[in-house]
Structure 1
């Protein structure tokens, strides 16, 4: 091999190594911590004002939430452990609250939902507080599974 080729290979290897170090040292998407009592209290107030009308004062969702309405849409699901909220990582939950259910991104193609987008209504801190409150109501094993899913996705 010529010197130029060796130098080029060494430079490429250095770029890959440095790039990997920079990439893996970047902070991951923060986990929304349901043990933050201030966030939970604030989130409960916001949830009551913004979310409870559809998702229930006790996070129970609307009746028969798995059965389609006459318009073909589904009622609001529960956010307690009986629902599917905890099956999603934090980044997806934040996206759904901010932008609503978006077909092809956070919902199946063609899906229609009554879930409004809150990007213009709630700040990122408000959304995190609401999710901290919701998560604080889940049993420990459910919180642990959702946390693991969130941390695994943020490592990708």
Structure 2
């Protein structure tokens, strides 16, 4: 009898582990429910959407999904396309301070093509843009970002 109960239990547990693993590696989507408390508000997301669409969407996509199929592939000019910021690339590896700094200084000083926005966007607007693209991050991606020190100075 115990053996009969063990098999369904193992199947259920292995299915749950697989589903969690899939979520961690799946591209996040705005419709995914976020249960982890975030550093930003719904108003920040709303304002950030406007900032993002006016300043970032041309290169990063209107929903931060990127605009090319393979953002890791070198372009003919030797540069790389802007990565997705929706949690499917490497943005979640960087602390909030670094994300803000990249927007402020741009990528040109390190060989990229992203312009600096220090004279165009206030710090508050930059943080709102970050809130917008982080709103696409799944809870698993956001929690991994926090564990990496995302909110640390």
Tell whether the structures are fold-level matches, with TM greater than 0.5.
yes
2:95 to 82, 89, 95: 89
Q: Does 1:132 pair with 2:131?
A: yes
Structure 2 unaligned spans of 5+: 1-37
Would the alpha carbon gap of residues 77 and 152 (structure 1) be closer, same or farther in structure 2, given more than 3 Å must change? Answer: closer
Query: Residue in 1 aligned with 2:16?
Result: none
Is the Cα–Cα contact under 8 Å of residues 96 and 102 in structure 1 kept in the other structure? no
Structure 1 vs Structure 2 CA RMSD: 1.8
Unaligned runs of 5+ in 1: 1-31, 104-110
The answer to whether the 8 Å contact 1:100/1:115 transfers is yes
1:43 aligns with 2:48: yes
Aligned partner of 2:66 in structure 1 is 61
For residues 57-77 of structure 1, give each alpha carbon's deviation from its aligned partner in whole angstroms, at most 9, with x where no partner exists.
Answer: 121113121011111110010
8 A contact 2:63–2:133 mirrored in 1: no
Corresponding residue number in structure 1 for 2:85: 79
Task: Provide TM-score, normalisation by structure 1.
Answer: 0.68
Identify if the C-alpha distance between structure 1 residues 141 and 76 changes in structure 2 by more than 3 Å, giving closer, same or farther: same
Question: Cα distance, 1:43 vs. partner?
Answer: 0.2
The reply on whether 1:119 has 2:118 as its aligned counterpart is yes
Question: SS of the residue aligned with 1:98?
Answer: helix
Greater shift in the superposed pair: 118-127 or 56-65: 56-65
CA distance in 2, matches of 1:128, 1:52: 16
Q: If the length of structure 2 is used for normalisation, what is the TM-score?
A: 0.69
Whether the aligned pair in 2 keeps the contact of 1:91 and 1:150 (CA below 8 Å) is: no
